[in-house]
Every structure is written in structure tokens, then in C-alpha cells.
Amino acid sequence: MKFGANTWIWFAPVTLADLKAIAPRLAAAGFDMIELPLEQVNGFDYPEAAAVIKDHGLGVSTCAAMGPDRDLVHPDQTIQDNGKAYIRHTIEATQTLGGTNLVGPIYSAVGRTWKATAEERARDTALLVEQLQELGAYAADHGVVLGIEPINRFETSFINLAAQIIEVVDRVDSPGCKIMLDTFHMNIEEKSLGEAIRAAGPRLVHLHACENDRGAPGNGHVPWADVAQALKEINYAGPVVIESFTAQVESIARAAAIWRAMEPSQDDIAFKGLKFLKQLLATPIDA
């Protein structure tokens, strides 16, 4: 496994100066990779960022930021088209940065909820499958994999469960379209985190290892032993990335409902979390 930290822990949006400051600290702490949210199109110089990351011996993944004008299943065709254009851009950016995994709720805008009948949900799901078939092929052509993430009911009414995204990914049937799971969202929505991971199986290409309150992993009530056992059973060897947010950046704090500091410092979320996760996932677990 490769252990990483998402820069949303400290910054939003991330800049090249931010990257130059945090990359050596992550490398020194023992992280294998860094995850860069791509909030803005061309928000920083991708080739220069790739050089910084490589210079510090880190790998990289990227995270899509789905806003109100980036939505693959919105009733407005213009918003759908803008969403597809944005994802194509982030695929290209991921390739330039030297990454493979582009992850996130790549379907609708975070925060958009709508009541749907079974027929309307089936229609929206069919549309998403069609969109992801196109984008998954584009990703595969660029050596990139989309890790599609279920998120909790307060952030979307569409894809909340591993079972729902398994259906979508199986229908897309593309090597460029797989699954990301996030323990923060799973802790809200899943009956069993372990069973959700087992169900995802080989479709799982990325894991966000996050505590129930977005604090340091291991410092809350996520059933980590269950998570670790399930990852072992599916022979998961992909990225394990800590994602959290800072209350000091108003826009991201409001979007993620971060109203207070979750740990004494943002560094604690990353560095204490890394120590916990390395110990957890290196420890043999009884079958």
C-alpha cells in the first residue's frame, strides 16, 4: 500500500507555493504520495508541480471538485457538458502530474440533493453510465483511472452506498472507471464497512482513510479493524489517503461543514494519522 495525504488538510485551493512547502514535510514524515484537489482549471502549473513532487520522491493522485456548474446528471445540458469538459481537463492534468488515480464523486455537484422516483433514479443512473463510459475511455487512453466515490446523504441524494456505485461501474465496464471508498462517508451510510469493501473487491482502486469526525485516523470510532481485515481479504494494495479540511479556509469549511478544529493542529491529522494507519495495516489480522 501507498500512504498519502490530501492537501485539503491544510490549503484550499492549493497553489504551487503551498505544494513546495508541504511536499518535503510529507516526504520527511514517511508519506509515499500526495493528493492534489484540482479545484480550478489550470489553478497551478502542472509540469512544475510534477517536478516538485518527483524531486521529493512522492507519488501523486488527484481529486475532482464537483461544483454547481460541474454535474454529469444535471437537467441542464450546458452544465452536463461543462462537467464533462472539466473531467477531461482533470484527466489530462493527472497524466501531466504523473498520477494514475483521479478520484471523487464524479457524477453530480457536491451539495445538490433532489427527490427522485425509482423511474427518475433509473434514468439518472443510465445517463451517468453513458457519461462515464465516454470519460472512462478518455481516462484509459491517458493512463488514468477514475475512482468514483459514494458520499453521504447530506452531500448528495444520488450515490451514497458501495452497492450503488458497484452497479454503475459494472455497467460502465471500463478499465478507466473503478471505485473509491471513503471511511468517513461509509461510517454514515453503510451497515458494515467491511462488507462494503468486500463487495467492491477488485473494483476498489483508492481508499480515503478518514475518521468519523474528519480528525486523525485512529482517534475516533471508525471500526478500523474491520476495515483492515476487509482490505486484507480483497488483497488491496492501492493508495490509502488521509483527507480532511481546515476551518481556516471559509469556502471549503462551509462546503465540508468543518466548524471547529478537529485536532490540536492540522499536522496532527496527517502525521498522527499516518502513524496509526501504518501500524494498523502492517499488523497481521486473523482471518
DSSP the chain: -EEEEEGGGT-SS--HHHHHHHHHHHHHHT--EEEEEE-STT-S-HHHHHHHHHHTT-EEEEEE---TT--TT-SSHHHHHHHHHHHHHHHHHHHHHT--EEEE-TTS-TT------HHHHHHHHHHHHHHHHHHHHHHHHTT-EEEE----TTT-SS--SHHHHHHHHHHH--TTEEEEEEHHHHHHH-S-HHHHHHHHGGGEEEEE---TTSS-TTSS---HHHHHHHHHHTT--SEEEE----TTSHHHHHHHT--S-SSSSHHHHHHHHHHHHHHHHHS----
Nearest of 23, 31, 98 to residue 242 by alpha carbon: 31
Q: Which of 155, 190, 211, 243 is catalytic?
A: 243
Rounded to the nearest 10°, the torsion over CA 152, 164, 115, 37 is 50
Q: Determine which one of 149, 155, 190, 263 is catalytic.
A: 149
Active site residue 243: yes
39 a catalytic residue: no
> Are the C-beta atoms of residues 183 and 213 closer than 8 Å to each other?
no
Residues with a catalytic annotation lie at 149, 243
